[in-house]
Chain A
């Protein structure tokens, strides 16, 4: 394997690889054994301000409080809904956490099985009990558009530095887009443009690790979108 270009070589680590003998603190995706830090996940080694961590390349989405995610209603109870948020566990959405006034047992009038909702992770405890809420600005039930799914580890790439990538896709395709931290992405807009946006997102996922991606995505979308008639 030859060296990669420009940026400091990003090293792929596998579980059990030694990351640090001493000095560095153990971050995410690592474990400590005999005072040494080892990788616990397949990913890319990352050293940042005295902490060594592993950015996972694969794996399930694990919710963290504050994450905005897209969920699907999979079950209805008398006072709550069960939401699938692409995590190993379903997340209950209690009637107190929705912006509507719901009578006991009246839950199915508001959200039905199969509905898609934008929710925020309220709390995750050590037993991995998850609570989600819709009581926050911008959170709602999604009525139109389409959902596409990518690996959650590629979400930050789709968003880009301070939202540069997603802003570009939004402005070029004139679509409304919401990227959930769990890797589900909602795209709504003109049929053809939405397809271009979805293809661009898929392209980002595929080529997430390459440099100069923003430029190439721009070229890609530029070649696909009909010139706007002024």
Chain B
């Protein structure tokens, strides 16, 4: 029944898109594993890693879009939820190293031995179990979002004030995580991971599986978002975006709607971060930097806010550009990104997807005129 509910929430285009995402998630790993490297169809491991990374970014963008595009909350702190999910995964991965670390301590990760910790801090307990880490990946960002949203929405902090608060939040978290006595690796963060669920993180087969997991998570995120947005709840959400006071006067509890979607979005960002970390092999406090969060917002803006396909496309486009430009012309990248911000807000308020539907509708009207 739930599956039917979820499936019905999808429009035809979106169904095709989800299938496309899943296809990419299956085809790339298969082409990597089953086709020998000599064949032209072989997908190299770095490509898997890159696409896996982009898929995680796309999920983060989707999370931002869910609150910004559909509820009008511009969060400049979603990078914090992403990073928190990543840190939870990083803690699990560090505990998996066991006695294979540089210092060979079976319980304490290397940085703790280095910093003269005598025993594991309380919040590290349980992270040796994957199921516990998996729960925490969702729970920790959600709790932060719940606390922040609870305070902010109840006292009707809206618009740019909320944006600035979320930015201050991620900035404060960045400062906090840079401290060595947080017990979370300080400015070096966590790295040198060995294996996940018993498989080596370095192995190609694990990379293939992680790439598939990223695609699966994105597909799930799309389906859940579509279900939420398409439901009666989603209609109310859009109404809150467009006329918050009117909804309040009509008797809706606006705070509840906002809080729910904010927490859901934070959980999605957390999952994205968690799958991201084993693929890039490191998590450090710079993930919390406000610039990262704003970059995620621009992915959404480029793709088209208020659509579900848009953020995915935006994340891929911008990050592909970033990978290309930082490699080929590193000087130009920030110019390009900055110009993108300005150009998109001025000329493409609905993003690439909006442009596409604009062009198509113009085409339709032209066709309609022809017989007349």
Q: Do these two chains interact?
A: no
Give residues in A with beta carbon < 8 Å to B: none
Give residues in B with beta carbon < 8 Å to A: none
